[in-house]
Amino acid sequence: MSVKNILVFGYGAHGRHIAKGLLDDGYLLKIVEEKEENYKRAIEDGFTESALIDMSSDESLLELDPQSYDQVVCIMDDEHYNVFITLSLSSLFPELSIVAISDSIHTSSKLKLAGATKVIDLYEVSANRIHNILNRPVATQLLKDFVMSKTGISFMEMELPKGSFLHGRKIDEIDFSCYDVLLVGLVDTSVNIHSFEFVTAGHEHVLESGDIIVCMGEVEKLRNFKKLLHKKVDLCREVKA
């Protein structure tokens, strides 16, 4: 994975967990905050490139030069302010790629109208997996923890390596909950490397090396699962057998 520079707006409850996960995965981050408390926490957590600015000031946003980053992410705790920042950035930089996080269906539509290139709707992610989750206690508990507390839960992008035990298998045949993670979606690189699709029950896609899957779960469980992708044998399948 090539290192990417990411500009993150917000270091509150959502932003802190997501930023830490991105940092652990090797990304270079700069945190932008206007609350001194959150700014100091970011510095203490090792984000020395953090900036404390007045986000309502166009001049301050221009000085950040967000176009010099590979990706801009808006994760303000206040959903109304998240929409405002997204709108300000898209107005100042029409070609800017903005990913915005939402935990409300209504906010998601506002973020899209405000100019977000991509909106990650946490509730949509959950809803798309309910059918598969109902009969999987571990996954159900993960979803409950995620929706209720959002503590320690994150997303991780993983590229399927050659020889992985997932190669050649249909998505709906794989019990991801056995590894304490939830499959959220994928990028079929053979079709379009920029096309992300949420995975729902009955998905017939056959995984191949090079496909990119996005999973949700506890950070440590995600890291462990990412390492296991290099194995040729499905350990959970062997245990059940």
Specify whether 167 is located in the same domain as 80.
no
Supply φ then ψ for residue 76, to 5 degrees: -70, 140
- Examine the fold and report which residue of 79, 102, 124 is the final residue of a domain before the chain moves on: 124
Average pLDDT over residues 196-203: 61
Q: Which domain holds residue 210?
A: 136-240
pLDDT in tens, 37-93: 999 999 999 999 899 999 999 999 999 999 999 999 999 988 889 999 999 999 999
Least confident of 158-167, 197-206, 208-217, 219-228: 197-206
* Shared-domain flag, residues 141 and 233: yes
In a domain, 169, yes or no: yes
Q: Judge if pTM exceeds 0.75.
A: no
Q: Are residues 152 and 114 in the same domain?
A: no
Long-range contacts, 233-241 (Cβ 8 Å, 24+): 233/165, 234/165, 234/166, 234/174, 236/175, 236/178, 236/179, 237/175, 240/178
Please check whether residue 64 lies inside any domain of the structure. yes
DSSP 3-state assignment of 118? strand
Domain membership of residue 69 (yes or no) is yes
Pair 217, 177: CB distance under 8 Å = no
pLDDT at 169 over 60: yes
In a domain, 191, yes or no: yes
pLDDT (0 to 100) of residue 199 = 67
- Do 16 and 112 have their domain in common? yes
Sheet-wide strand order for 196-198? 153-159, 212-218, 181-187, 196-198
Q: Is the residue at 165 inside a domain? A: yes
* Mean local confidence (pLDDT), 219-236: 87
Question: Would you say 142 and 176 are in contact if contact means Cβ atoms under 8 Å apart?
Answer: no
State how far the Cα of 69 lies from the Cα of 29, in Å rounded to an integer: 9
List the CATH number of the domain containing 204.
3.30.70.1450
Query: Do residues 158 and 224 both lie within one domain?
Result: yes
Is there a domain that residue 131 lies in?
no
Cα separation, 185 vs 188, whole angstroms: 10
Mean pLDDT of the chain: 80
CATH number at 32 reads 3.40.50.720
Which of 89, 124, 159 is where one domain is finished?
124
* Residues 152 and 187 reside in one and the same domain: yes
Q: How confident is the model at residue 164 (pLDDT cuts 50, 70, 90)?
A: very high
Confidence of residue 238 (pLDDT cuts 50, 70, 90): low
Which of 24-28, 76-80, 102-106, 179-183 is least confident? 102-106
Residue with the bigger pLDDT between 98 and 151: it is 98
Whether pLDDT at 178 is above 50: yes
Q: Do residues 49 and 100 both lie within one domain?
A: yes
In this structure, the answer to whether residues 161 and 110 fall within a common structural domain is: no
Domains in the chain: how many in total?
A: 2
Comparison of pLDDT for 106 and 199, the residue scoring more: 106
List Cβ neighbours of 177 (8 Å cut-off, separation of 6 or more). 133, 136, 138, 139, 142
> Is 129 inside a domain boundary?
no
> Given this model, what pLDDT does residue 128 score?
47
- DSSP conformation class of 64: H
- Looking at per-residue confidence, does 127 or 235 come out higher? 235
